[in-house]
Chain A
Amino acid sequence: MYLRMIRNDLLRNKLISFTTMLFITAATALVSLVSILTINLVGSIDTLTKQTQVPDFLQMHSGDLDQERLENFAAGHENVKAYQVLDFLNIIGSKIQLGDNNLIDNIQDNGFTTQSPYFDYLIDMDGQPIQPAVGELYVPIGYLKDGTAQIGEQAIIAGKEFIIAGFLRDGQMNSPLASSKRFLVNEKDYQELQSEGTLEYLIEFQLKDRSRINQFETAYAAEGLETNGPTLTSSLFKIINGLSDGIMIAIILLVGFLIVIIAFMCIRFTLLTKIEEDYREIGTMKAIGLRLADIKKIYLAKYAAVALAGCLSGLMLSFIFSDPLLANIRLYMGESQYASWSMLLAIFGSIVVFLLVIGYIHFLLRRFRTISAASALRNGSPGEKSSRKKYPFLSKNRLLPINIFLGVKDVLSRKKLYATMLIVLLLSCFIMIVPWNTYQTVSSPSFTKYLGFGELDLMVSMYPSDELTENERQVDDFLNKDATIAQVVQITSKSLKAKKEDGSEEKILVELGDHSAFPIEYNTGKAPAQPNEIALSSLNAAEFGKQVGDTIEIITENGLESFIVSGIYSNIFNGGKTAKATFTAESAPTMWLNYYIKLDNADQIAIKTEEISQALPFVKVTDTHNHKQQVFGTTMASIKTAANIALIVALFITGLVSLLFMKLLVAKDRSAIAILKAIGFTNQDLSKQYAARGIFILVIGVTGGSILANTVGETIAGMAISSFGVDALTFVSHPFIYLNFPILMLFVTLLATNLGTSQAGKIKIAENVKE
């Protein structure tokens, strides 16, 4: 009997059943996708970490190296499992030619190395350490992804010919977010290249007990060992590897969560409408002695069928869609070791969605208890009499045309009913705006302010050498003479030592100079203005346990000096541990010297870069826009993809729900429509009234959605982006988001309203006016 009832009911309400199923499908697909992607991402990162045997602690170092002292330290420290020093031969981009592509504009530190002996292997696509033959070159996987290199092409490195034999995965430097890339060559070729680049060392340790990494770091620093370069740990490698895909997963999770809510709203609306319609029948069933549980079963059975169909198709869809979305993860990191688990988890996720839906219907059906058989038979559904409001009066209305007035009045007097559509529109608006605003924010020029950079066009960098003073003078002369430069400021990065709470000393990289010229965003506080002030990067603030207003002791040329922390900012470069101050420290070792430059005309960046490189061959010129594009390009692209998908999904939801809602509304309003027609309102009048309702709700929904997007959405996006080390994000929006998106939604809503209410004109007055 149930089967027949379900079938009849589904056929009678095709659109409603189909829409409900569609939302359950979408919700399941997204929940299941998130499970699959997450488990694969985590699994792939683990696999990569295991196969490459990533070091737990890495100190980059340029300059002389005391091998013996390091060996002694490694042998003497109880937590060291393995130790090695690897070469990283940094060759400038212009000397690297891969097929037709030259890396001259590439901002990565491209280094050449040989396969490491003990751990930190560079592996092939099968996860095996690569042993290149003479003349073979293995290229970082990222250059396959962006189309820079292809297998079999010829490569010329500093005049020496190679054949690109394959691509390599690198546990440390795989991600585009990592600032260095390692190329792999044979030992013999490496020897020949050695004179062509500058050598850096990767001092690597594997630990017996990873949880005590902090103690190890402190011990390393306390020994006064080689520290001329960033310090990195294995947890950072994992984060960098997972970030781009992690943000994509986060956006899918957000959209998935909202679609689950929308599915619930749809179920609520259709079920309550149905109950209202069936009120007398339910009363009859109660009156003839059917038990509450039996009546519930009839309704539950139908939705269980719909939910089951939705969950199954959602699960199928997620298996289909997971492949292209996993492509990036697979390419960069290889197969996940938990791949078989992902399917189980996806099925589990789908079951959870199914149970949630059934549970929610149970919850909605509790109102059966309050239906009195007697009053249901006598009076039918109580409707919404109690909530009908007198205001506003038509007799006091001079402002609105009658049809708009009636539309608005209807919404105001049946708020509960319209709440469904309002919430859906509000969430759709939210789904549209948040990912797009996130994309706009990350891709806006001012985003660098969150990364510890001001809005500069060019950065000219110099590294310490014997001619530093002479070179500095030349640079000053050149830059001061150039009339096309709007602003220039010199920032010197010095390595100093600071005292920790426990009395130990820790290296601290301090950028000295005028920090007001290119202001950055401070999470809290402000830029250092006085010589006794210092701003810390958020990682350093955490490391030293400092907040704005605290003091930090730093060893300068005047001995131990106290500085007041004036502000805390986000920074992901240089290991994220930097500080900014305005004092001078002539005697402290200079790490590098930067000139921040703003041009009169930003179009001139490329020309100016070339010009400075020609005139001052000893400096490195960085085009900051290009730099950001290369570091964040992949991440921005995946956010943009997610944002576009979210936009389409939201518009689709808007259209579908509006259509469904209006159709149900017309069915509900049959008698009112007949009355209006009888007293002389035309079909066009009715269309206008429904459009007015749609637009009125849309206006509230879009306004609410925008406000929500800019508050809650900003916080959520901020949390996602905080993994970059950006803490206090403010959305940078583009006017088109707030102008075009509502217009798009308006268009879709009107179209759906028109389609959904097309039946209103066909309602026969004679048959419906009597009800």
Chain B
Amino acid sequence: MKKIIDGQRIHKSFTAEKESIKVLRDVSVTIYEGEFIAVMGPSGSGKSTLLYTLSGMDTVDSGKVAFIHHNLTECGEAELADIRRQQMGFVFQQPAFLKNLTIIDNIILPSMRDNRKQVKALTNKAQQLLERTGIGDLADRMTHQVSGGQLQRAGICRALINEPKIIFGDEPTGALNSKSAQEIMDQFLQTNQEGTTIMLVTHDAKVAAQSERVLFMKDGQIVDELQLGKLSNQAIENRTERVTKKMLQVEM
């Protein structure tokens, strides 16, 4: 299998109140093309920071992050932005939208930077994505006129608009009720089946249980890993149980 992300010996610390806190300590992680990977861990374990450093949104103190053939740790700001825009997609816990644009305008925004002339085609594509996620009729609403779950679906649409190689999700279901959360997960699963690599950070064992592989973090290190394989409908309860058990072990 081809590597899509290869992080080697990543160190990262933050300075707060003149005190340096090590958030990532010698973390190495490899993600393969087409994989659906989840990262779990208690608060402050460094899982979100890992996601931000692997996606080039945050810098590392030392170590190396490679994305396909790009060395992200040596890329400039503009090059990183280009990679994020053209080859990556992001879904955040809070709906990160521009408040003065409509839903559909927010979705086409990353693509409009490079493809202004194809606005018609883009709008059609965005509309199709909205239909796929079941919110086709909300295209022209403002962001404050829809629910959190609907907004998160729109977030997936925006992540998909440039047909990225990988989608990063930072607790994408964290602010949703369980019904909405599952609807979002269904979208991720479908996207993954269509070939897009997905990396999620989550607290939720049921969410993690739907991925192929779960990494467990504690105190800035990856302490354990669980290979679940492809999801089949019957297996989900059993998988959730396995994830929960592992998580309890990690937290102890």
Interfacial residues, chain A to chain B (CB-CB below 8 A): 383, 385, 388-390, 393-398, 401-403, 406, 409-410, 413-414, 671-672, 674-685, 761, 764-766, 769-771
B77 touches A682 (CB 8 A): yes
Min CB distance, B41 to chain A, in Å? 16
CA distance A684 to B81 in the complex (A): 10
* Chain A residues in 8 Å Cβ range of B110: 679-681
* 3 interchain residue pairs of minimum CB distance: A680-B85, A394-B105, A413-B100
Q: How far is the CA of A771 from the CA of B116 in the complex (A)?
A: 29
Q: Which of B78, B93, B101, B108 contacts A682 (CB 8 A)?
A: B78
Q: B112 touching A675 by the CB < 8 A rule?
A: no
A678 touching B78 in the complex, CB below 8 Å, given contacts A385-B144, A390-B102, A398-B116: no
Instruction: Give residues of chain B (111-150) contacting chain A, Cβ–Cβ below 8 Å.
Output: 112-113, 116-117, 119, 122-123, 126, 140, 142, 144
* Contact residues in A for B158 (Cβ distance below 8 Å): 679
B216 within 8 Å of A by Cβ? no
Q: Contacts of A674 on B, CB cut-off 8 Å?
A: 96
Query: Besides A394-B109, A402-B116, A674-B96, 8 other CB < 8 A contacts?
Result: A383-B99, A388-B144, A394-B101, A395-B119, A398-B117, A682-B81, A685-B81, A766-B57
Minimum CB–CB distance for B99 against chain A, Å: 6
Assess the A388–B99 pair: CB atoms within 8 A: yes
User: A771: which B residues are within 8 A, CB to CB?
Assistant: 94
B64-104, CB < 8 A from A: 77-78, 81-86, 88, 90, 92-94, 96-102, 104
Q: Is the CB of B119 within 8 A of A677?
A: no
9 contacts between A and B (CB under 8 A): A388-B142, A390-B140, A406-B98, A409-B101, A675-B97, A678-B92, A683-B77, A764-B58, A769-B92
Are B81 and A765 in contact (CB-based, < 8 A)? Answer: no
In the assembled complex, the CB of A762 is this many whole angstroms from the nearest CB of chain B, namely 10
CB distance from B127 to the nearest CB of A (A): 9
Q: Please judge, given known A-B contacts A385-B144, A390-B142, whether A679 and B117 are in contact too, CB under 8 Å.
A: no
Assembly CA distance A106 to B57 (angstroms): 77
Residues of A within 8 A of B86 (CB): 680
Whether B113 and A685, one on each chain, are in contact in the complex, defined by CB atoms closer than 8 angstroms, is yes
Which residues from chain B contact A394 at a C-beta distance below 8 Å? 101-102, 105, 108-109, 112
CB of B49 within 8 Å of the partner chain: yes
Q: Is the CB of B58 within 8 A of A766?
A: yes
Are B85 and A388 closer than 8 Å at their CB atoms? no
Residue in B closest to A397 when the chains form the complex, CB atoms:
B119
Contact A680 B48 (CB under 8 A): no
Q: Assuming A394-B109, A771-B94, is B101 touching A678 (CB within 8 A)?
A: no
Check B108 against A395 for contact (C-beta < 8 Å): yes
Tell me whether B142 and A675 are in contact (CB under 8 A): no
Known: A390-B142, A761-B77, A770-B92. A395 touches B105 (CB 8 A): yes
Residues on A with C-beta less than 8 A from B98 are 406, 672, 675-676
Query: Which residue in B83, B104, B113 is a CB contact (below 8 Å) of A395?
Result: B104
Does B52 reach chain A (CB closer than 8 Å)?
yes
Q: Is the CB of A679 within 8 A of B84?
A: yes
Q: Considering residues B97, B100, B123, which has the most beta carbons from chain A within 10 angstroms of its beta carbon?
A: B100
Which residues of the partner chain B approach A677 to less than 8 Å between Cβ atoms? 57, 81
Cβ-defined contact, A766 with B101, below 8 A? no
Given known A385-B144, A390-B142, A398-B119, contact A681–B81 (CB-CB < 8 A): yes
Contact status B142-A678, CB under 8 Å = no
Closest CB-CB distance, B206 to chain A, in whole Å? 22
- CB-based contact B99/A681 at 8 Å: no
CA distance A685 to B77 in the complex (A): 11
A507 to B78, CA, bound (A): 84
* Contact between B96 and A393, CB atoms less than 8 A apart: no
Chain A residues, Cβ within 8 Å of B58? 764-766
Chain A contacts for B142, CB-based, 8 A: 388, 390
Cross-interface CB contact of B82 among A395, A682, A761, cutoff 8 Å: A682
Contacts of B122 in A (CB 8 A): 395
Contact (Cβ within 8 A) B116 A401: yes
Contacts of B32-76 to chain A: CB distance below 8 A: 48-49, 52, 57-58
Q: How far is the CA of A209 from the CA of B170 in the complex (A)?
A: 92
A678 and B123 contact, CB distance less than 8 A: no
Asked if A684 and B84 sit within 8 Å, CB to CB, the answer is: no
Of chain A, the residue at the smallest CB distance from B117 is: A398
Contacts of A398 in B (CB 8 A): 116-117, 119
- The answer to whether A680 and B100 touch across the interface, beta carbons within 8 angstroms, is no
Nearest CB of chain B from residue A286's CB, rounded to whole Å: 25
* Docked pose: A395 CA to B111 CA in angstroms: 11
| Nearest residue, chain A, Cβ from B122 | A395
- Chain B neighbourhood of A410, CB < 8 A: 100
Measured between beta carbons, the chain A residues less than 8 angstroms from B77 are 682-683, 761
B51 CB to nearest A CB, Å: 9
Closest chain-A Cβ to B90's Cβ sits at a distance in Å of 5
CB-based contact B85/A766 at 8 Å: no
Minimal Cβ-Cβ distance residue in B for A677: B81
B100 touches A393 (CB 8 A): no
Task: Provide the residues of chain A in CB contact with B84, threshold 8 Å.
Answer: 678-680
**Given the complex of chains A and B, what is the CA–CA distance between A409 and B57 in angstroms?**
26
Q: How far is the CB of A535 from chain B (nearest CB, A)?
A: 61
Query: Chain B residues near A413 (CB, 8 Å)?
Result: 100
A397 to B120, CA, bound (A): 9
User: Out of A385, A395, A678, which one reaches B99, CB within 8 Å?
Assistant: A385
Closest to B53 in A: A766
The residue in chain A whose Cβ has the minimal distance to the Cβ of B92 is: A769
Chain B minimum-CB-distance residue to A678: B90
A residues less than 8 Å from B52 (CB atoms): 765-766
**CA A402 to CA B78, docked complex, whole Å:** 16
Residue among A397, A676, A679, A683 with max Cβ neighbours from chain B (10 Å): A679
- Cα of A558 to Cα of B163 in the assembled complex, Å: 101
Which residue of B is nearest A413, CB measured? B100
Determine whether the beta carbon of A680 is less than 8 Å from that of B104: no
**Do B105 and A389 touch across chains, with their CB atoms under 8 A apart?**
no
Contacts of A683 in B (CB 8 A): 77-78, 81
State the CA gap A388–B97 with chains docked (Å): 14
Residue of B nearest to A391 (CB): B102
C-alpha spacing A770/B116, complex, angstroms: 28
Q: In the complex the two chains form, what is the Cα distance from A225 to B47 in whole Å?
A: 107
Q: Give Cα A403 to B110, complex, Å.
A: 11
In the bound complex, do residue B78 and residue A765 qualify as a contact, i.e. CB atoms below 8 Å apart?
Answer: no
Pairwise interchain contact A678-B96, C-beta atoms closer than 8 A: yes
Q: Quick one: which of B4-51 are within 8 Å of A by CB?
A: 48-49
Distance in angstroms from A548 CB to nearest chain B CB is 57
Q: Which of A385, A395, A396, A766 has most chain B Cβ within 10 Å?
A: A395
Question: Does the CB pair A684–B78 fall under 8 Å?
Answer: yes
Chain B residues whose CB sits within 8 angstroms of the CB of A675 once the complex forms = 96-98
Do B85 and A679 touch (CB < 8 A)? yes
- For the complex, give the distance between the alpha carbons of A385 and B58 in Å: 31
Residues of B within 8 A of A409 (CB): 100-101
- In the complex, what residue of chain B is closest to A770 when comparing beta carbons? B94
Q: Which chain A residue has the least Cβ–Cβ distance from B55?
A: A678
* Cα–Cα, bound, A685→B84 (Å): 14
Question: What residues of chain A lie closer than 8 Å to B117, measured between beta carbons?
Answer: 398
The complex places the Cα of A675 from the Cα of B84 at a distance, in Å, of: 12
* CA–CA, A406 and B110, complex, Å: 12
Q: How far is the CA of A401 from the CA of B116 in the complex (A)?
A: 7
A681 & B100 in contact (Cβ 8 Å cutoff)? no
Residues on A with C-beta less than 8 A from B96 are: 671, 674-675, 678, 769
Residue of B nearest to A389 (CB): B100
Task: List residues of chain B with CB within 8 A of the CB of A682.
Answer: 77-78, 81-82
Bound-state Cα–Cα, A398 to B123, Å? 12
Residues of A within 8 A of B119 (CB): 395-398
A411 to B236, CA, bound (A): 49
For residue A393, which residue of chain B has the nearest CB?
B105
Verify B105–A766 contact, CB threshold 8 A.
no
In the complex, are the beta carbons of A395 and B94 less than 8 A apart? no
* Residues in B neighbouring A685, C-beta threshold 8 A: 81, 113
Q: How far is the CB of B56 from chain A (nearest CB, A)?
A: 10
Nearest A residue to B107 via CB reads A395
Which one, A395, A676, A678, A766, contacts B48 given CB within 8 A? A766
B102 CB contacts on chain A under 8 angstroms: 390, 393-395
